[in-house]
Structure 1
Amino acid sequence: MRQKLVAGNWKMHASQQMVTSLLEKMLSKQAPSAKLLVFPPYPYLSQAIQILAESNIGVGAQDCSQAEDGAYTGEVSATMLADLGVSHVLLGHSERRQYHSETDASVVEKAKRALAAGIIPVICVGETLAQREAGETNQVVSQQLTPLVKQLSLAQLQKVVVAYEPVWAIGTGLTATPEQAQEVHAFLRSLVAKVDKALAEKMLFLYGGSMKPDNAASLLKMPDIDGGLIGGASLDADQFLAIGKAAE
């Protein structure tokens, strides 16, 4: 059975005081059996890693560079993240695709860098509202995931996590119904199954898009939804842990 994973993407929200307060509050409460993971902004990774060092909560980064090192001002490499002790990295988030012109090809290259550094890539895919209304959801997520499946080896794919985040449900308060989310998750798993059925059965597929304590249980009971990539609710310890409990 696949262990559920609940990951919190803090986006560009943090301060030293907030990181300490939020994480210490999480640690003061009973942890769920589901795996928990937080993605702080770059400046607070070391702080988060230090606070969570003796816990079962992992720390991931929100992005990494396509380059190994060199004259790339403002970039952070996967090897640097590994040196800090980061376990996961979020790649291909729709906000990165929209505001930083990231492509499916660049996401694959970043995934290769992360894997080479021993970091688990969490690959985001998802459609816009216009694409969903046009009936293009499967086409869009297939275009986003297929290059990864084709270009990574089976051994590499065994370490990949996929997050389905319908763009129209990110930060909008809108949420895909459990049935809508399940349909896409099942389709994504079927794409991986074309490469290797055993791999598809083991791979984690997370749902992201306004998951909150009041809708988490109904989403997480779907057979192909293995956890959540949480935005706003991950900035509240009680809400984040409640989602973690729902994943048990």
Structure 2
Amino acid sequence: MRRPLVMGNWKLNGNKAVIEDLIKGIDIELNGVEGVDIAIAPPVMFLDLAKQLLSQVQSKIILGAQNVDVNLNGSFTGDISPRMLKEFGTTYVIIGHSERREYHAESDELVAKKFASVKESGMVPILCIGESNAQNEAGETLEVCTRQLDAVIKIQGVDALNGTVIAYEPIWAIGTGKAATSKNAQYIHSAIRAHIAVQSEEVAKNVIIQYGGSVKPENAAAYFTQPDIDGALVGGAALNAKSFAVIAKKAATAKDLIYSRTQFIGKNII
């Protein structure tokens, strides 16, 4: 049975005071909430601070990172290795985010190598896939998503997806205020799961697939009640403790409906 994951990607935002307020606020707001995993990905400079704060309040919030290098050590100025992240208590690592692909020219092949490095280091990769506005308008969404996904599968095999997370984030919806409708998002999620099922129905059934792209308290429930959407990778709304908590609570509330409807693979396209 899949368990929804709601993760806040704080990107290049915050300072010590902001990080402390966010963590304490989220922890208070989500006290007693069950049925959903909650994670945060602060800027790497604040990972140790976040780890300490989470320990102080004995929080169930899980620590994540926004990026990683493929190398474990060596002459790679400015990079962060998987071992370093692991030592700081990191569980999840976001890889292949569209901002990394665009601003740092990260290829599908490099993202696949990062995926492998994260797994080998005992952490959970969150593989971001998604199309641009131009690709969406050209009807290339599934082609782009499956290509990005297959970069991992072709090198490591479909079983490499076991215990990992896929985040479908249409680039045109990230930070724009635009968002895919819940039905459109479900269509893509179901198609992604069906694509994986061609090689392994068991992997497809169990892999977590999040939605990301202008997820807000107002639209979160519509996504989470779709059978193939397992939580969200949240950007802007994650920088407000109350908003982020509302999103997480809606994922928890919807989980029974999600799983009761998820009885088959590749047949629930709306």
Q: Same fold (TM over 0.5)?
A: yes
Residue 149 of structure 1 is matched in structure 2 by 153
Name the residue aligned to 2:6: 6
Query: Given the two structures, how large is their TM-score scaled by the length of structure 2?
Result: 0.90
Q: Residue 217 of structure 1 aligns to a residue in which SS?
A: helix
| In structure 2, distance between residues paired with 1:97 and 1:43 | 21
Aligned-partner SS, 1:60: strand
Q: Does 1:187 align with 2:191?
A: yes
Return structure 1 stretches of 4+ with deviation > 6 angstroms. none
* Counterpart position of 2:69: 65
Alignment counterpart, residue 116 of structure 1, candidates 120, 126, 138: 120
- Cα distance between partner residues in 2 of 1:141 and 1:157: 15
Identity of aligned residues (%): 40
Aligned to 1:19, the other structure's residue is in SS state: helix
Does the 8 A contact of 2:65 with 2:85 survive in 1?
A: yes
Secondary structure at 2:219 match in 1:
helix
* Structure 2: unaligned runs, 5 residues or longer: 253-270
5+ residue gaps, structure 1, are: none
Work out whether residues 149 and 192 of structure 1, in 8 Å CA contact, stay in contact via their aligned partners in 2.
no
Q: Flag the 1:245–1:56 CA change in 2: closer, same or farther, 3 A.
A: same
Task: State the aligned residue count.
Answer: 248
CA distance in 2, matches of 1:112, 1:29: 35
Alpha-carbon displacement from aligned partner over 1:40-92 (angstroms, at most 9, x marks no partner): 00000111111113211101110000112110000000011011110010000
1:206 aligned partner: 210
Query: Do 2:30 and 2:249's aligned partners in 1 also have CA atoms closer than 8 Å?
Result: no
Counterpart residue identity of residue 11, structure 1? K
Find the aligned partners of 1:44 and 1:17 in 2 and give their Cα distance.
11
Q: Secondary structure at the match of 1:12?
A: coil
1:15 aligned partner? 15
State the 1:154 CA deviation: 5.1
> In the alignment, is the contact (CA less than 8 A) between 2:41 and 2:66 conserved in 1?
yes
Instruction: Report 1:1-248 matches (<5 A).
Output: 1-31=1-31, 32-33=33-34, 34-53=36-55, 54-153=58-157, 155-248=159-252
**Structure 1 residue 217, shift from structure 2 partner:** 0.1
C-alpha distance in 2 between matches for 1:30 and 1:183: 30
Q: For 1:247, what is the secondary structure of its paired residue?
A: helix
Separation in 1 of the partners of 2:137 and 2:71?
A: 37
TM-score (structure 1 length as normaliser): 0.97
Cα contact 1:96–1:102 (8 A) shared by 2: yes
Q: Kindly provide the amino acid, as one letter, of the partner of residue 49 in structure 1.
A: K
Instruction: Give the Cα–Cα distance (whole angstroms) in 2 for the partners of residues 24 and 155 of structure 1.
Output: 37
Q: What secondary structure is seen at the aligned counterpart in 2 of 1:8?
A: strand
> Separation in 2 of the partners of 1:155 and 1:136?
26
Deviation at 1:211, TM superposition (A): 0.3
Provide the C-alpha distance between the structure 1 equivalents of 2:144 and 2:236, rounded to a whole number of angstroms. Answer: 25
RMSD: 1.0
Q: CA deviation at 1:155?
A: 4.8
- Structure 2 residue matching 1:141: 3-state secondary structure: helix
Structure 2: distance between partners of 1:181 and 1:30: 26
Partner of 2:233, secondary structure, is: strand
Give the Å deviation of 1:146: 0.8
3-state SS, counterpart of residue 123 of structure 1: strand
2:13 partner SS: coil
**Corresponding residue SS for 1:59:** strand
- Conserved in 1, the CA contact under 8 Å of 2:196 and 2:203? yes
Q: Report the AA paired with residue 11 of structure 2.
A: K
Alignment-mate amino acid for residue 115 of structure 2? A
- CA deviation vs aligned residue, 1:15-55 (integer Å, no higher than 9, x gap): 00100011111122243321100010000011111111321
The C-alpha deviation readout for 1:97-142, integer Å capped at 9, x for no partner, is: 0000001100010111111110100000000111011010011111
User: What amino acid is the match of 1:205?
Assistant: I
Give the aligned residue type for 2:29: K
